[in-house]
Amino acid sequence: MSRPPAIQFLLIIWASPWSLLGCLIGSVAMLTGGGVQIRLGVLEFYGGILPTLLNKSPISGGAAAMTLGHTVIAQSAVDLDRCRDHEFVHVGQYERWGPFFVPAYFAASAWAWWKGLDPYLDNPFECEAYECSDPSNRMNRQ
């Protein structure tokens, strides 16, 4: 579904605080040998220092990719291709929640943890991303 340009512009502005952070991290990645590409209006950064940063993620085994507003950072271009559908669901979440997305995400993780659930897999934002993305990208829950 295509949006009017004025609406898309407002959504970009709404999510821009996190997009700017993504661009800053992506710029450091490029300075350390990483690359960048644009897909459907989303800046995708990969390589450089990003594998080191994403492997420090609290997710078991680290993260292959992460969304910040209208930017996605990933360990590699292969990870971008593999995770794109999932990460683009997060882009839509940033468009809905704007600057409140990250606090809401952490609050949802804390709530899941408090209830004895997995703070990542049982986070409603992740549940939506896994449900909406390609089934081959879904994590196997054991």
- What's the Rg (C-alpha) of the chain? 15
pLDDT in tens, the chain (142 residues): 578 999 999 999 999 999 999 999 999 999 999 999 999 999 999 999 999 999 998 887 889 999 999 999 999 999 999 999 999 999 999 999 999 999 999 999 999 999 999 999 999 999 999 999 866 544 444 3
pTM higher than the cut 0.85: yes
- What residue ranges do the domains of the chain occupy? 5-137
